[in-house]
Amino acid sequence: MIALEEHPQGVIVPVKAQPGARRNGLAGEHAGALKLQVTQAPEDGKATDAVLDLLADVLHVKHSQVKLLSGATSRQKRILVTGLSLAEVASRLRPELEDS
């Protein structure tokens, strides 16, 4: 189960990033975090940018609605998604996780 948190501006999604993967995509859940694989290498923030873009695509939101709160240089990241409730984020992730 992904440990989503409510935030005054939206929802915090914990993410475990896997940079340098073969493909971009969801890789399920890992220790309460959403596991995302990106092909970008972890240099100069490219992998983090790719994670933010991928999460926006997965949740079907604008890229401006997805902001990094913490973990710029770590695989463990906390990402704020604005404009959606916790229930909306959970319902949008559910089918994506079932497919992964």
Mean pLDDT for 77-99 is: 93
- Is the domain covering 5-99 a CATH 3.30.1200.10 domain? yes
Number of other residues whose CB lies within 10 A of the CB of residue 55: 24
- The pLDDT of residue 100 is 65
In three-state secondary structure terms, 68 is strand
pLDDT in tens, 52-81: 999 999 999 999 999 999 999 999 999 999
Question: Residue 34 pLDDT more than 80?
Answer: yes
| Whole-Å CA distances, 77 to 33, 40, 95 | 9, 16, 22
CB distance 56 to 64 below 8 Å: no
**Rounded-to-10 torsion of CA 55, 31, 42, 40:** -40
